[in-house]
Structures are given as C-alpha cells and as structure tokens.
C-alpha cells in the first residue's frame, strides 16, 4: 500500500545513509527498532492512513498537518505527473520521470528540517489526494489542515 523513499538536497538518495546506519547498528549489536530506523520510516508511511482509519468514516474528517507529520519543514501533496511541480516546490529534484507517471498512485513529500525529503507513495484506491484537486503538486504548509471524506473504501481529499 505504501512505498517510502528518501532524498537529500545533494541529490543522494537515502539508501546510502540507511546503509551506514544499518552497519552502525549491526556493529553496535542493536536492533533496527532500537536504532529508530524502522520506527521513523514506518511513522511517515503510515501516519496519514492511521489518522484516517481512526475515524468512523461518517462525514468529513479534518486533520491538522502538524499532528500527522510533526517536526517537518514542508508537506507537499503530489498527483500523477506532478513530479516537476513538486521538485520546484521542494527546491531540488526528488521526483524523476517516469516515477510520477502512475495513474494509480499519489504521494506526500515531507521535507524535514535537515533537508531530507521522505516521499510516501499511496495507492489512490485507498487514499486519493487528487480526486478533486486542481493541482499537480501543492505545498499545504505545516500549520494548516487536510479534510477527507470516505467514498466507498477510498478516502478522498476534499480541502486544505
């Protein structure tokens, strides 16, 4: 349901730092959870879905962005083919062609204070950020809110 990628302003992808962190944890004899690697990534990937599923699904639900993604610098919603617009908003290339061309996916790009961008890919059949969205990519800020309504089994973004 979710795919998580990280990118840094230098253009390096997160897997290099993850490998260093994994090696450091292994050398110290610590678990991935003990090192915070699994928890940090799982929190980003599951945060929105968990917040929505906590609702009964009857009527709209409004979620403060800061509660879903605390300790972030920027939150960008990205629709299919919106990678170039997202790159402009984020300030560097984090989406590449053809990565953003899947009609069945949309993304939340979370820019952390250290500049790292965590991209969470979500299937539109589960959470659709783009059903009524007039944007390719939108910076929703960190102080605003996102409003969703459940249609069938799909949560659709209806406002921000």
pLDDT digits (tens, 9 = 90+) for 61-114: 999 999 999 999 999 999 999 999 999 999 999 998 787 888 899 999 999 999
The chain-wide mean pLDDT, for the chain, equals 79
Q: pLDDT class for 41, splitting at 50, 70, 90?
A: very low
Who's near 119: CB < 8 A, 6+ residues apart?
A: 4, 5, 6, 7, 78, 94, 95, 107, 108, 109, 110
Q: What is the pTM of this model?
A: 0.75
Is the model's pLDDT at 25 over the cut of 90?
no
Residue 35: per-residue pLDDT: 32
**CA 53, CA 107: separation in Å to the nearest integer?**
18
């Amino acid at each position: 349901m979710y795919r998580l990628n990280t990118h840094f302003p230098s253009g390096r992808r997160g897997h290099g730092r993850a490998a260093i962190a994994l090696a450091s944890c292994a050398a110290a004899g610590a678990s991935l959870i003990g090192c915070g690697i699994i928890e940090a990534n799982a929190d980003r990937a599951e945060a929105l879905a968990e917040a929505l599923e906590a609702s009964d699904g009857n009527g709209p639900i409004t979620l403060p962005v800061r509660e879903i993604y605390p300790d972030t610098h920027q939150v960008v919603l990205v629709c299919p083919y919106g990678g170039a617009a997202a790159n402009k908003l984020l300030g560097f290339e984090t989406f590449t062609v053809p990565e953003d061309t899947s009609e069945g996916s949309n993304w939340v790009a979370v820019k952390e204070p250290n500049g790292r961008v965590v991209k969470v890919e979500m299937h539109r059949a589960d959470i659709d950020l783009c059903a009524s969205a007039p944007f390719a990519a939108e910076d929703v800020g960190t102080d605003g809110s996102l409003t969703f309504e459940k249609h069938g089994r799909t949560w659709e973004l209806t406002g921000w």
